[in-house]
Amino acid sequence: MSERAKRVVPSAKTGTAGRLIAANYPQQLNAWYLRTGRKGINSIYKIKGSQMGIRAC
């Protein structure tokens, strides 16, 4: 099994919890999280708020 495969969380474990977490995010971040972000355990993603529709404070 590859290292990447070992880091991927099985979808059954991320189903309900992942949707609950994503529900608290702005729409663009919510969609990204459900599509990509929740699948990696030991991954780091560098994302600017402006890329996700979040305004600076």
Cα distances (angstroms) measured from residue 1 to each of 7, 19, 37, 40, 55:
10, 28, 21, 15, 41
- pLDDT tens string 2-52: 455 445 455 555 578 888 888 888 888 888 888 888 777 777 888 888 887
- pLDDT tens string 30-40: 888 888 887 77
Residue 1 — very low, low, confident or very high, per pLDDT cuts 50/70/90?
Answer: very low
Measured between alpha carbons, how far is 37 from 5 in angstroms, rounded to an integer?
15
Nearest CA among 52, 46, 54, 56 for reference residue 28: 52
> pLDDT at position 3, please?
55
> pLDDT at position 5, please?
47
> pLDDT at position 28, please?
85
